[in-house]
Structure 1
């Protein structure tokens, strides 16, 4: 199957400043691609390049097999949903949704049929005669999505569409966008700085930093096997524990030593590790450090750790301890009896471990 969006060797410069550097991304029809990264990483600029709102300095963009690199936005067969909604304040909801079709000369009967199909899908039928000023933020977002949906484009582009909404509404709208994607089978490209949003919505994630793609993969690949320290730290809440350690590789695997202030070092043996340098950064997600007795398996190793802090969080309780000079977080069950200042046996699941090089930050396993 040919990619519906194919970006090759894309560069974007403002004067002598490189904003995007050698971007290569391809997605299949029906994919939900999320561009994620911190503010200023270039994700919105990349979306604007796909839309044709920003000219590119090098490379090519193909949409639906056609070279769209120098084609104007209106001829790219895309629909865009902005953070600001960009609705016409003097027009009713119905007119906002049908305006683009009217401009393109679509007949009145088709306009009416598409309007009511989309209004039903988004549950905004009672709002069609209102103006944007009479709507809540969530309702305006639905109208903006409706205006994009009636176009039936090859690509839907979303630029941080939920960032103006409160936390509860964000979750509701996120589920709505996910439902839309599943029901329509549409291809979507979505920009966010919220990694939970990225993990929830995407079939494929592009993690960006400083205009450079750090990793492309499924949510599971990005979460379980981050390609470098930046991705490991950025994706996941709470973030992956990144613990400086010493490794000594022998015939039965690697002996991992984690220093502690005023206590014996923690010694873990990773029987599967073979090729590690002496200095490593050991990465473990909070859920891969459990209370002893709650995690079994040949790769699970236990060590006694001092509890610095206990944070109840409903279904989970987070316990913070210090090792390798860093605060590390373990995700324990809600009924744990852990108390600050006491010792607790923790189980480390080395089947889930990531190793990184301290200098380059690159993944080693």
Structure 2
């Protein structure tokens, strides 16, 4: 089966300014692909190129096995949901949803059937006679999604659709979108700057920076094996701890030496990675630094550290220390006895460690 979307060697420039550089992305039927990155990274521009709203400078875009590089948006068999909802204020919800079908000449019976089907899926049946001004933000977003769903397109495009909602409603709508995707098995390209949104929704994530793809992978791959320092720092909340260290090799493997504030060194022994350079940056997620006694295993090593900050967060407590001149966050259990200014024995899980080259930022293991 042909990929639903195949982008090859795509470039986008405005004059001499390159916005997108050599973009190559493929998604299969049923994929939920999320484009994520900081503001200005090019993710919305890429979505607009897929939609045909922006002409590309070079490369090609295939949708459903057909070359759509220079095809107008209306003929690409896509549906787009915008951040602003873009609803017609004078029309009822029902007319907003069916308007596109009416313009395309779909008969009234088919319009009614599609409207009933989508209204049931999105649980907006009681709202069909209301106007947009009478709806909450979450309800408006459902109507905008309904307008896209009735098209039954090959590809759905979402441009930061939840960014106008409050925090609680965003979490609820993420769950609804996840359910909807699982039910419809739709092919989706979704843009967000929120890495939590990306991790929870995606089957595949594209991390972008400065118009360049940094990594493509499943949420697990992106989180556990970031390709470089940017991905490690951007994906995760709190971010991955990135600690400068020196490597000393001996017969038993690599001895990882990290400077502490007291002028002494914290030493971790890694028997698995023997080909590391002399200078590295160690990456450990906060949950991979536990309080001694709460993490077991052959690769778990303990060391005493001075606690700088304690941040209770309900089910977890975040404890911040300073290692290698960097603030290092550990995600501990809620009942920890850690106190600012006190010592605490941490357990570092080296089975989960990532190593990066300080100069290039590239992953080493």
2 CA distance for matches of 1:197 and 1:217?
15
Corresponding residue SS for 1:59: strand
Is 1:232 aligned to residue 232 of structure 2? yes
CA shift digits 1:219-269 (9 cap, x unpaired) = 000000000000000000000000000011222211000001224210000
CA shift digits 1:261-315 (9 cap, x unpaired) = 2242100001101111111100000000000011111100100001111111011
Normalized against structure 1, the TM-score is what? 0.99
Corresponding residue SS for 1:110: helix
1 CA distance for matches of 2:256 and 2:110?
67
2 CA distance for matches of 1:251 and 1:276?
14
Is 1:253 aligned to residue 253 of structure 2? yes
Q: Which residue of 1 aligns with 2:303?
A: 303
2 CA distance for matches of 1:27 and 1:140?
28
Q: Which residue of 2 aligns with 1:124?
A: 124
Q: Which residue of 2 aligns with 1:20?
A: 20
2 CA distance for matches of 1:250 and 1:21?
43
CA RMSD of superposed structures (Å)? 0.6
2 CA distance for matches of 1:137 and 1:356?
43
Corresponding residue SS for 1:10: strand
CA shift digits 1:103-145 (9 cap, x unpaired) = 1110100000100111111111111111111111111000000
Q: Which residue of 2 aligns with 1:200?
A: 200
Q: CA deviation at 1:2?
A: 2.0
* Superposed counterparts of 1:306-317, under 5 Å: 306-317=306-317
Q: Which residue of 1 aligns with 2:327?
A: 327
Corresponding residue SS for 1:94: helix
2 CA distance for matches of 1:110 and 1:2?
29
Runs of 4+ that moved beyond 2 A: none
1 CA distance for matches of 2:150 and 2:2?
25
> Which stretch of the first structure deviates more once superposed, 11-20 or 249-258?
249-258
> Which stretch of the first structure deviates more once superposed, 245-254 or 12-21?
245-254
Q: Which residue of 1 aligns with 2:156?
A: 156
Q: CA deviation at 1:338?
A: 0.8
* Superposed counterparts of 1:173-184, under 5 Å: 173-184=173-184
Q: Which residue of 2 aligns with 1:187?
A: 187
Q: How many residues are treated as equivalent by the alignment?
A: 365
Q: Which residue of 2 aligns with 1:356?
A: 356
Normalized against structure 2, the TM-score is what? 0.99
1 CA distance for matches of 2:335 and 2:79?
49
> Which stretch of the first structure deviates more once superposed, 245-254 or 335-344?
245-254
Q: Which residue of 2 aligns with 1:283?
A: 283
Gaps of 5+ in 1: none
CA shift digits 1:170-207 (9 cap, x unpaired) = 00111111111000010000000000000000000000
Corresponding residue SS for 1:257: strand
Q: Which residue of 2 aligns with 1:96?
A: 96
Corresponding residue SS for 2:19: strand
* Superposed counterparts of 1:68-147, under 5 Å: 68-147=68-147
Corresponding residue SS for 1:143: helix
Q: CA deviation at 1:7?
A: 0.2
> Which stretch of the first structure deviates more once superposed, 327-336 or 244-253?
244-253
1 CA distance for matches of 2:345 and 2:322?
14
Q: Which residue of 2 aligns with 1:264?
A: 264
